[in-house]
Structures are given as structure tokens and as C-alpha cells.
Amino acid sequence: MAKILVTGAAGFIGMHTASRLLDRGDTVVGLDNLNDYYLPQLKLDRLAQLTSRPGFQFEKVALEDRDGINRLFKTNTFDSVIHLAAQAGVRYSLTNPQAYVDANLVGFVNILEACRHSHVAHLTYASSSSVYGANRKIPFSVDDRVDHPVSLYAATKKANELMAHTYSHLFGLPTTGLRFFTVYGPWGRPDMAMWMFTKAILAGKPIDVFNHGKMKRDFTFVDDIVEGVIRTNDTIPKPLAISSDADDSQTAAPYRVYNIGNNQPVELMHLIETLEQALGCTAEKNMLPMQPGDVPATYANIDALQRDVGFRPSTSIEVGVKKFVDWYKSYHKI
């Protein structure tokens, strides 16, 4: 069994990923800085799901702490690294840009350098569907150019992909970037729509519906995301032979990027109706225009994911929302 570092282990996707790895018998070292971007208690409660389990070790380290990251890699030999820690959130990046530079740029270089010098066999890292920015062609394909981000968060995720390619090309470090599409489910983040809508509806408060509910999102249930993360992490990219007439999207480096999305975009109003059904309540809605940094639609082309690792997400919005609502009520003792 492998020894795997999971960064962001007290985060939403990180906790679920670490738990699934432990289920199959891997040893997991979980890293997190437990910052206060949102409720630290939620992070501690997630972490409590892991710390009592055999094979799990927790390290409190910030990504931008280069000495701390280096110490961690010197005292452990990791077979692979699943890098999920980051400063998340599109709107937060409008008012707190430095947090994204520290965690998503400086922190990512620290992880790349540590993986390089420790001869880690594979680095799998979280990118984001936000890299598609102002792209108008849908569904979004990993072969599309992504040169027009509309938030600093998106720009840092695109930068991560470029930095990873450089390390794959120069040093032969196998890297795989995963562009997540609107992840939701149990233990989710309180700054995301599913949580905020549920909290407001149960409290009888109005919800803000941006772009008058006409936005579409490729809502992806967390179990599907985790399956994609683990399958791609188990599939180490190899260098490719590139022909002289290959297009510019191809590279000979041991480097891959995949979309992980449900491949079935849902209009925001349909999500709200599904949530109302699951809660047995009707929401009062404030219809508002699009916010800065938002995009009207996301839609994942997952052909490459299915081709290379044999997986496509399949959880319907009705099933996923019901599971989230059941967890939310249980967690808050409602």
C-alpha cells in the first residue's frame, strides 16, 4: 500500500479523499493550516473523521511555509502527493488577492520543489473549471485555450497548470491537474451556494439568486470528484512521443490535465427547486444581476477522463442534493 500526502486534508474534498484512501489501506499524511477563511470548527470536525483512524497522521503546516514543507518531505517518503490545499473562492479574491498569491502561487512552488527533490512518483493537484473564464465554446474541453481568466483565483489556477508543466518538462516530474466543476455534497463549504441556500431557506430568510437564476453550473457530487482524483492519481502520466504535425495543445512531458464534471449542467433555478423539494420549504428569492468574476455557464467535456481512467461522474442533482440536505440536518441537529 502507498504512503500519500493529501494537502488540504481538513478541507471539503481533502477530507473525503483522505477517507477513501484510508478505506483501501493506504497510509495518509494530511496537511492543513486550519485557517479561518471559513468556520475553523467545521475543519476540525472534518479532521476528527480522520484522526481516529489507523494509518492517518496530521501535520499543521501552511503551504507558504517553505521550511515547514521541506521538513515534512525530509521526514517522510511519499509515493505520491495529492495537492488539494489552496485559497479558494472567486469573490474573496476580489478583496483579498494576497492570500491567493501566498497559498496558490508561492505555496504551489513549494510543493513542486519538494516533490522534485524528493523524487515523488506523481503529483496530482486541484485546478478549477474557473480557468475557462470568458470562453464561449461549450462544453469546455481540456484542449481549449484558457487565456482569459475573469478572477485572480482563476488566474492562479491557470498559473498552477503552467508551473506544473514546467516541472514535468524540465525535471520529469509526472503531474496531473484536475479541473473541478462546482463540487457539492456532505461536509461542503459554507461559502458555496448549496450551503448558503440551505441555511437561508431553513431560517426563512431570502436567498440571492444571481443572473436572475439563468446561470448554469456542472454541479458535481463530491463522491464522483474523489473517484476521479484517486483514479487519476493511480494513473501516472508517461512522456509522449509527439509528431511534428501535432497541434500546440500536446506536450511530450509526463503531464496531463482533466476535467472532472458531471457533464450535465443544471440551471440555477432547477437547483433551487430541487433543494426546496428536499427541504420541504419554499425559498424567498432576491433576483440579482451577475456578479464580477462569475461566468454564465460551466459544462465539462470529460472525454479525456473517460478515455484514460475509465470513469465518468454519474450522481444526479436530485440524489446529490438529498444526500447533502440529510447530512446538513444531521450535522446541525435540525
- Which residues are designated catalytic? 153
Q: Distance between CA 213 and CA 123 in Å, rounded?
A: 38
Residues 6 or more apart whose Cβ sits within 8 Å of residue 299: 138, 139, 140, 216, 218, 261, 263, 265
Q: Distance between CA 236 and CA 233 in Å, rounded?
A: 7
Q: How far is CA 248 from CA 111, 143, 199, 200, in A?
A: 27, 9, 46, 47
Return the DSSP state at 323: H
> Strand, helix or coil at 149?
coil
Residues 6 or more apart whose Cβ sits within 8 Å of residue 116: 167, 171, 173
What count of other Cβ atoms lies within 10 Å of the Cβ of residue 204? 9
Q: Backbone phi, then psi, for 130, in 5-degree steps?
A: -65, -15
